[in-house]
Structure 1
Amino acid sequence: MIKVLLADDQSLVRSGFRMLIDSADDMETVGEVDNGRDAVAVVKTRPVDVVLMDIRMPVMDGTEATRMIAELGIDTKVLVLTTFDLDEYVFAALRNGASGFLLKDALPDELLGAIRSVAAGDAVVAPSTTKRLLTHFADLLPKATQERGKRLEALTEREREVLEEVARGANNQEISQRLYMAEGTVKTHIGRLLSKLDARDRVGLVLIALEEGVGD
């Protein structure tokens, strides 16, 4: 059972999400809060698999709350909710450890699917959208220098190929087919990439790949 915490300052929004989540057989709402500070407090005291996190909230916004949750070193994932797909707060939340983001007007099946994906450790950010975020907020990124690509020097040629596919948004099955390797081997390469690049999840790999010029 996937345990979901709702963090949104609008009670009607929380009520709608709770009804949808509790109607699913494989997930349940374990709490509701109206600010980021309380979201952090909840995940410290009870098991939460996924926080459905609004970005703009009083007391503490979703970006800072995401950072604090990521720094706890627990398995709780954060799925950010936003009204606009080009939002500097969303970009910051991704950099702070969010496993993806979803527009608030997403269809019910999309929301439930996104929660399941995040709980399973996958990303729910389309690489095209991530690239637009990076392009739109390029001033927030490290400037291209001779150091660009330095983080990738420790990767094998095969790991670079897998990273390129991850940056394109390919899932493990697609990578397996494109690179002619078993899915188990793909998972092994993903694990090594996460370790070598010090990335929290696939979103982190996508961001690093784009920052380092993979696929340019």
Structure 2
Amino acid sequence: MSYQLTITPVRPADVPSEETIISLAKEVLESSKSWKKGKAFAKGGVQTYSRAKGPGDGAPWHCRVSKHTKDDATFDEFWSKLAVNKAENEKEFIAAIKKVAEVKRISPTQSIWTLYYTFPPPVSPRVFTVLQTTYLDESVPRTGIIASIPIDLSGPGDEELAKLEEKGTKGRYVSVERLVELEDGSVEWRMATSSTPGGSIPTFVAEGSMPGQISADVPHFLKWFHTIRTKAEAT
């Protein structure tokens, strides 16, 4: 059975090759250019798109696209925060993420992380465990890809890894991001994701909030990045 990017989790022993994951990520990112246009968000300059659930998909897909000048962040600055220690950085600008832990480092460009989210009552905490794979193409235009696929640590042989997961309802997400350095030095940031929060949250509620949720990550990232950039300039 061939692998496809979906919210169906894989066990660590069954992880596809980095080449396979990046190739599939590129396919999704290219296809997102023809998805249904959705809401635009002025904050962060974000345009959203979506694709209905297709064959093999566990959930519909959502996409956001934004373009950024060097004043926002350069290509190298985006890459250093979105591709290196990604989960630890996300904890700094996504308020719901309270804890992260590296479960297993597979290679310099691939590792398993677990992320613990908390939400206002009555929603219980959620645990998302993902394999993150990064790929940097230095040819012009420079392009960086970050792919996250859901991982299942409940199987035999993974007991020690599972101990690193916090207690909470298991959610699942798959996401692919692409940074492209444009001719004028600005950066296009494209992200596509498919997810399920798990538990008893109705699908229509989870899906209806997705465009706003994924769009908010852009201004949240920029606000956080500018605080650390300012600190670095001051030293």
Q: Normalised by the size of structure 2, how large is the TM-score?
A: 0.26
Bigger RCO of structures 1 and 2 (CA < 8 A, at least 6 apart): 2
Q: State TM-score, norm by structure 1.
A: 0.27
